């Protein structure tokens, strides 16, 4: 990672650049939303927990069979981790995730009537659910604004010189200063798509990047 210096910008200048970035994201990814397959908030929560350090493709390959066997929290709460493992083994980190999902389902039944709580603190008390997963679920399932920062957002925020902060929470808080609240959830999904297909971790395709004009790091990778 050869780091170019980020330009010194006022908040006003940065917001103007963010506005241009948002414009181009809206043109390039007009209906960006989660690519995790799900029918209910519960299934989205499970899929998002499974997506930690895994590709959404591998998660989507596993969840149809998983959801057919365990369609809701009540069904999953009756399972043992050993019974769940075969469904998710190919995703990786499967022992931890199987254990977490069963306990998570049991807690949903015990504390929330089997439903997904619309509250970040309550979500973060569930095993396997941290700040990023809770923010994603609130946004995608309930439309509650928030910019969840995952590996893609962290990388793009740095390359775009939108945030040099280190923790996901701080990067997210900073990004939320630059984009309008009603577009936060869109920005999250659009930047993930852009990070997955264009501004990739290893060899970013700057020549094909619609954000290049607004990116101080263009061509330096």
215 is in an annotated binding site: yes
Q: Which of 3, 13, 80, 90 binds DNA (CB under 7 A)?
A: 90
- H-type helices in 32-183, by residue range? 41-50, 56-69, 73-77, 81-88, 94-112, 120-124, 131-142, 151-159, 168-178
Within residues 131-160, the interface with DNA by CB under 7 A covers 131-134, 136, 140, 148, 150-152, 155
* Active-site pick, 12, 99, 150, 158: 150
Q: Which of 117, 146, 172, 195 binds DNA (CB under 7 A)?
A: 195
Residue from 70, 107, 116, 128 that binds DNA (CB under 7 A)? 128
Q: How many residues bind DNA (CB under 7 A)?
A: 49
Residues 36-55, one symbol each (x = binds DNA by CB under 7 A, - = not), give: x-----------x--xxxxx
CA distance 59 to 27: 28
Q: What are phi and psi of 162, to 5 degrees?
A: -95, -30
**CB of 71 vs DNA, minimal distance in Å:** 21
Q: Which stretch binds DNA (CB under 7 A): 23-31, 34-42, 172-180, 208-216?
A: 34-42
Known binding residue 209? Answer is: yes
- What are the structure tokens assigned to 176, written together? 């939320």
Q: Which of 29, 38, 116, 168 binds DNA (CB under 7 A)?
A: 168
Nearest-angstrom CA–CA distance, 179 and 107: 35
Active site residue 132: yes
- Of the residues 8, 57, 120, 132, only one is catalytic, namely 132
Active site residue 158: no
Q: How far apart are CA 102 and CA 127, in angstroms?
A: 9
Nearer to DNA, 13 or 55 (CB): 55
Collect contacts of 175-182 with beta carbons under 8 A, ≥24 apart.
175/147, 175/149, 176/146, 176/147, 177/11, 177/15, 178/14, 178/15, 178/18, 179/18, 179/22, 179/147, 180/22, 181/145, 182/145
Phi, psi of 3 (to 5 degrees): -95, 115
> Can you give the binding site for DNA, defined by CB under 7 A?
34-36, 48, 51-58, 89-97, 100, 124, 126-134, 136, 140, 148, 150-152, 155, 168, 188-189, 192, 195-196, 200-203
Extract the annotated binding site.
199, 206, 209, 215
């Amino acid at each position: 990672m050869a780091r170019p210096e980020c330009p010194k910008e006022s908040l006003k200048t940065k917001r103007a650049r963010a506005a241009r970035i948002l414009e181009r994201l809206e043109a390039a990814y007009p209906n960006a939303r989660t690519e995790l397959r799900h029918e209910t908030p519960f299934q989205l929560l499970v899929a998002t927990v499974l997506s930690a350090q895994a590709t959404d493709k591998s998660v989507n390959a596993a969840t149809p069979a998983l959801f057919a066997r365990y369609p809701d929290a009540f069904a999953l709460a009756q399972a043992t981790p050993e019974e769940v493992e075969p469904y998710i083994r190919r995703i990786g980190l499967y022992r931890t995730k199987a254990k977490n999902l069963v306990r998570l389902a049991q807690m949903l039944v015990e504390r929330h009537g089997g439903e997904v709580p619309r509250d970040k603190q309550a979500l973060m008390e569930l095993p396997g659910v941290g700040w990023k997963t809770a923010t994603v679920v609130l946004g995608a399932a309930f439309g509650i604004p928030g910019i969840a920062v995952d590996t893609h957002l962290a990388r793009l925020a740095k390359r775009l010189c939108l945030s040099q902060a280190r923790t996901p929470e701080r990067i997210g808080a900073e990004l939320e200063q630059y984009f309008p609240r009603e577009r936060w959830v869109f920005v999250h999904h659009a930047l993930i798509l852009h990070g997955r297909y264009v501004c990739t971790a290893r060899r970013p395709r700057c020549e094909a990047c619609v954000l290049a004009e607004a990116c101080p790091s263009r061509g330096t990778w």
